[in-house]
Structures are given as C-alpha cells and as structure tokens.
A = this chain, B = another copy of it.
Amino acid sequence: MAKPTPLSGFPELLPAQRYVEQQVVATLARTFELHGFANIETRAVEPLDQLLRKGDTSKEVYVLRRLQEDDSSKDKGIGLHFDLTVPFARFVLENAGKLEFPFRRYQIQKVWRGERPQEGRFREFTQADIDIVGRDTLPFHHDVEVARVMLEALGRLDFLPGFRLQVNNRKLIQGFYAGLGLDPDGIDEVMRLVDKLDKLPVEKVRDMLLAEAGVSEDQADKALALATIKATDDSFVQRVRDLGVSHELLDEGLDELATLVRSCAPLATERTRIEADLSIARGLDYYTGTVFETRLDGYESLGSICSGGRYDALASDGRTTYPGVGISLGLSRLLVTLIQRGVLTADRSVPSVVLVAVTDEESRADADAIATALRARAIPCEVAPTAAKFGKQIRHAERRGIPYVWFRQDDGTSEVKDIRSGNQVAADPATWEPPNEDLRPQVVTTIDEGESK
C-alpha cells in the first residue's frame, strides 16, 4: 500500500494534538455535569425524511447505503446527522415517557456535512451541545442558565484566546419591525437583508431594503439603526426606546435580553465578555427568543464558534410540544484551526511521566515490577522496549517528551533522572512522586503570528 494522503475536510490529530482536544472535552463535560447536565449520545444516523425537513441543509447530507444493497431494498433511507439538534429532538420524542422534564443534557459527538471544506469548516467535525427542554412550558431563566454555563465552560479553557458571547432576542427584533408597521412577510424579508450587514456595506443593505423589501426610508433607517446597537450592559434598552418604536413583543424581548445581560455580566472577565448585539439574528427559522453567537478574539474570520438560542417548539408529537433552549460549541472549528496553525499542542506525545530503563532482557521483569509499583500510585509510565544503551533509552524518552527516566541498580536500589535538567537522585518506586505539573501532559500555546493581534 502506497503512503495514504489525507481526505480533505476530515481532519485528524496527532497524539499530542489529540491530548489538547481530550482536555477540552473533559473540561466541558466537568462543567456541564457540575450544573446537572446528563450526558447522552445519539446514533450517528437518522431517517432521511427527518434530516431533510429543513430544505436548507439537504445538500449537505451524507446518505448511507449498504454495499450489497440492491435498489429495490425495503430499507428506508438513512443518512448521517449534520448537527446534534435534530437527533436530540427525535430522542426526546422517542423517549418522552422515560425522561424527566425539564430535561438537561449535554452531548459531545461528531457530525457530518458534505460541504466544500475550508478553514474552520469540515466534512466531519465535533460539536458540544447543551440543551434544556421542557414539556409544554420552559421558564425564561433557563435561557440565562445555558448562557452562564457555556460562559463558565469556555472561561475554564484558559489556554484559548478570549471570546465574546453576543446575545440578542428574536422577540425584540420582530417586535421592533412589527412596531414599524411591517407585516410578518415583511419582517422575515427585512431580517434576512439586515443579516447581510456582516458581509455587505450598510449603504448596499439600505438599498436592498428599499428595493427588495419595499420598506420606507424611515423604516429602513430605523431597522439599520437597531442593528448597530451594542452594549455590555442593559443600556441598550434606552437606545432602542430612543428610536421611538413601541410594540408588546418588543417590550418582552427588551425585558428578556436585559435580564440575560444583567445575569451574565458578573461572569464576564477580560477573556470572557458578553455583549448585547442587536444585529445578531441567526438564520435558522426555528429560534423564537434568545439567540447566541460567539466570536473568538483574533479569529473573527472563523465566524461564530458557539451559537444557539430558544426554540418554542424544539419537538412536537402533535399533542405535546417541547420548548427548548440550547447552545452548541463548534469544537473542531475552534480547536482544529488553532492546532493546525501550531498555536496549541501538548508538551509530550504520550501520557507516560516515567520511562523505566531496562538493563538487559533478563531483568525486564524487575523493570516491569517498578512500573507496576508506580502505576499503583496513579503515575503513568512505560518500560523501555529494548535493553539498548542507556543513552539510546534516554533519547527514546526525550523524543516523546517523557521527563523522567528510571534506572534500577544491580543492588536493587533505584535512581531517577530528570532528563531536562540532568538531575539524578535516589528514588523508591513505592514512594517517589513527580511534581504535580509533570504528572499529566501540559497544553502549551504559542503566539500565532498570522492573525492574532
């Protein structure tokens, strides 16, 4: 077999890089569990008719077929899931009788989309989602809760760049447009056009509002003014009021968003900021209140790395409706990009903190016994694969980043060498311990000359 080449859009990590991803997953899981979120995994496949309910994503779905399947197969079509929301909604309906509501779950899994690969966009990638789902009703304070939990989780990833959680509320936008006198179709059209502000100059969007949405100059100017409002506190409320529009739904949205910003503000730090950004709408049509997006400092070109919101009908079986609020972190978009640019890695490629040297093959059992004693006290280690010259065994450790090499003397005593300093001391496998910072690989960061500020 000739040397294989990577498949575009299907990133893979080397062991030291994968260690970074493992640490991130463990930190996220720990934070979500501290807040009472239970983990689930759903199968990778869903019936095609479920996956294609939203026409928008149909082009991205990978369809599965068994190799020996003939076309007349009675199997219903199945495809790989393209997010974790569609399978979660199905899981809730399928298991509603066995779940307790409100149901809080986190889910960290791979998803697949047949998109054209580009930086930060892959065909196979990992998402980390939290959602809270109620039966019939779900209090608004859960919107605050998912935002706070994700802020805390991202905040704990202190080797990542800082970020900005941007929040808005669809009731606010829709109420504002309704207060401007737009009908539902007009609201959708204006929302769609204003959403282009991140790609097109404001003058161009204004022209489109006038020509395509058929709104008046005053309506266009107010819609654009609303979208320019940003604030890290609830001062945005007065700025919206100053635009002179009133509507019941607008009031509700302003109240909710002000509550969200005030409740999250205490969690903000220099690295983890929260901002009401009234231009955020999220294209997907099922959000009905709070919406979230997140920008990574210095990597704004990646787009949002963490998005979500409130949906009044996450799932429905016709009789019962399940409202939900959730937020989804694009783990691969965030990590693979930083790892591929060399910004993030680990300081060793193996978990071992010690390599136990082997004097000769006859004494391998003695080396094994030392390793067993170390492992009994939770110290990861490995025994040298061959009884090569000690210099070669030390280089074996060095190439993997293993900081200590253990030597057993003929008299049964031991010495351990820190191969970084060359310092070698007597040691007993029943009591010796490495410094805590050596026990596990450490995530190391380097400055990205390319894009960071």
User: Interface on A for B, CB 8 Å cutoff?
Assistant: 1-7, 10-15, 18-19, 22, 33-45, 47, 50, 52, 58-69, 78-80, 90-91, 93-96, 98-100, 102, 104-105, 110, 112, 114, 124, 134, 139, 141-142, 315-318, 349-352, 364, 375, 378-382, 385-386, 396, 399-400
How distant is the Cα of A5 from the Cα of B317 in the complex, in angstroms? 13
Chain B min CB distance to A205 (Å):
30
Chain B residues with CB below 8 A from A18, complex form: 38-41
Between A and B, 6 residue pairs with Cβ closer than 8 Å are A1-B318, A14-B99, A15-B38, A36-B381, A62-B65, A67-B114
Cβ 8 A contact of A38, one of B36, B142, B350: B350
Q: How many copies does the complex hold?
A: 2
Q: Which residue of B lies closest to A110 (CB)?
A: B44
User: With A and B bound together, what is the CA distance between A317 and B381 in angstroms?
Assistant: 31
Q: List, in ascending order, chain B residues with CB within 8 A of A13's CB.
A: 40-41
Provide the bound-state CA to CA distance between A381 and B10, in Å: 37
Closest 4 CB pairs of A and B: A36-B382, A66-B114, A15-B38, A36-B352
- Rounded to whole angstroms, the CA-CA distance of A94 and B1 in the bound complex is 11
Closest to A51 in B: B67
- Rounded to whole angstroms, the CA-CA distance of A78 and B98 in the bound complex is 37
Q: How far is the CA of A98 from the CA of B3 in the complex (A)?
A: 13
Chain B: minimal CB distance from A307 (Å): 24
**CB contact under 8 A between A382 and B35, given known A18-B40, A94-B4:** yes
Tell me which of B34, B100, B139 contacts A386 (CB under 8 A): B139
Which residue in chain B gives the minimum CB-CB distance to A10? B43
CB distance from A67 to the nearest CB of B (A): 5
Give the Cβ gap from A374 to chain B, nearest Cβ, in Å. Answer: 9
Most central of A41, A59, A378 by chain B CB within 10 Å: A41
Contacts of A316 in B (CB 8 A): 1
* Cβ–Cβ < 8 Å partners of A385 in chain B: 102, 134, 139, 142
